[in-house]
Amino acid sequence: MKEAKFYENKGEYVFCVLCPHNCKIKNGSTGICKVRKNINGVLYSLNYEKITSVALDPIEKKPLFHFYPGTKIFSIGSFGCNFRCDYCQNYEIVYGENLAIDLSIEKIIQLEEESDSIGMAYTYNEPTIFYEMVEELAKEMKNRGKKNVLVTNGFINKEPLLNILPLIDAMNIDLKAMTDDFYKKICKGQLDPVLETIKLAASKTHVEVTTLLIDEYNTSEDEIEKLSYFLSNIDKNIVLHFSRYFPKHKMTKSATNLNTLIRAKEIAQRHLNYVYIGNVFGFDNSTYCPNCHEKLIDRNFKLEIVGIEKNRCIHCGLEIPVIY
């Protein structure tokens, strides 16, 4: 447990301003995320140094396809979330307070140092609600010349986001849908703050976006157009991952039709240069040059950079936004 950042104390209540829920929390209670608690007027982070998951993952699993392709990243998660997605694909972890073990900041750093990793990814559950732990670890990683990756739902207020961004080398941000209705009904969140996070983060660090497609919920042609057009207005080179949904947690609807994913990719490619499909075995997710269509990164067998030199396509010379 550690005193939280980003709150105000007003009488018997504290007001947490970490995320746009802006919870008003009375003494002895927690906010919507259930991991920030008012104890006698002081707000505490309950998941500080509490870890549910540790793994050395391929960077592509975050997913990040244009950030040190082919490398591995030490990944940690805690518990809790400020959303309540009906289809949460990680609900065992998100609600897994009982699974958590105590791991000090020093021990986590030591484990990362012993691994063959480019740095640390804060992932599995929503990392912005274990903000204090992310900030401390990220500072240590930076001091050691390592990378920090945030895999997030993007539901964070502007001030804490601006505070953490200088430490973050890459983000994968979920854009769950393009309707506030979906965010409110299915996730108990809001759309606009997420759009603001994507815009702000993309101006400061490397950002890739993931949309989990669920047939009939967020897959209309109009919605896919809107989503990819929004991203292209920030930068046509923002990488978009369409991920296949599988029934989990409270949602029993069958897995996303493969044709839906393929169609979504075709629509998004009208606006964006790099669109990939995830959670589908055997799909070609190689990177191709958006100008001459030659292969740049082969992801079919062993990952290999085959068509990029000094950040340019070796065939046509187009600048390719891949950090490696």
CB of 81 to ligand SF4, least distance (A): 9
In the complex, least distance from residue 22 CB atom to ligand SF4, rounded to whole angstroms = 5
Q: How many residues bind ligand SF4 (CB under 6 A)?
A: 12
Question: Taken in order 85, 89, 95, 101, is the CA torsion positive or negative?
Answer: negative
CA distance linking residue 235 with residue 229, whole number of Å: 10
Nearest to 107 by CA among 140, 146, 152: 140
Collapsed DSSP state (helix, strand, coil) of residue 195: helix
- 164 lies in the site for ligand SF4, by CB under 6 A: no
Q: How far, in whole angstroms, is CA 81 from its chain's centroid? A: 13
Give the one residue of 9, 33, 112, 195 binding ligand SF4; rule: CB under 6 A: 33
Options 9, 22, 110, 163; binder of ligand SF4; rule CB under 6 A: 22
Site for ligand SF4 in 81-140 (CB under 6 A): 82, 129
Binding string to ligand SF4 for residues 34 to 63, with x set by CB under 6 A, is what? --x---------------------------
Shortest distance in whole angstroms from residue 154 CB to ligand SF4: 13
Pick 189 or 278: Cβ nearer ligand SF4 = 189
Smaller CB distance to ligand SF4: residue 16 or 264?
Answer: 16
How far is CA 77 from each of CA 46, 97, 202, 234, rounded to the nearest angstrom? 14, 11, 23, 29
In angstroms, the CA 119 to CA 113 distance is 9
CB distance 267 to 259 below 8 Å = no
Residue 173 within binding range of ligand SF4, rule CB under 6 A: no
Q: How many CA atoms lie within 13 A of 70 on its CB side?
A: 15
Query: In angstroms, what CA-CA distances link 78 with 88, 99, 272?
Result: 15, 9, 33
Least distance from ligand SF4 to the Cβ atom of residue 124, Å: 17
Find the part of the chain contacting ligand SF4 (CB under 6 A) among 18-26, 170-178, 249-257, 281-289: 18-26
Residue 56's CB is within 10 A of a number of other CB atoms, namely 15
Task: List binders of ligand SF4 among 245-264 (CB under 6 A).
Answer: none
Q: In whole angstroms, what is the distance from residue 150 CA to residue 198 CA? A: 12
CB closer to ligand SF4, 155 vs 242: 155
Q: Name the DSSP class of 217.
A: T
18 near ligand SF4 (CB under 6 A): yes
- Dist CA 198 CA 101 (whole Å): 32
Q: Is the CB of 36 or the CB of 176 nearer to ligand SF4?
A: 36
DSSP label at residue 185:
I
Least separation in angstroms between CB 138 and ligand SF4: 18
Return the number of the residue (36 or 62) whose C-beta is nearest ligand SF4.
36
CB 107, CB 151: distance < 8 Å: no
Residue ranges in 283-322 that form contacts with ligand SF4 under rule CB under 6 A? none
Minimum gap (Å) between residue 40 Cβ and ligand SF4? 16
Query: Residues interacting with ligand SF4, by CB under 6 A?
Result: 16, 18-19, 21-23, 31-33, 36, 82, 129
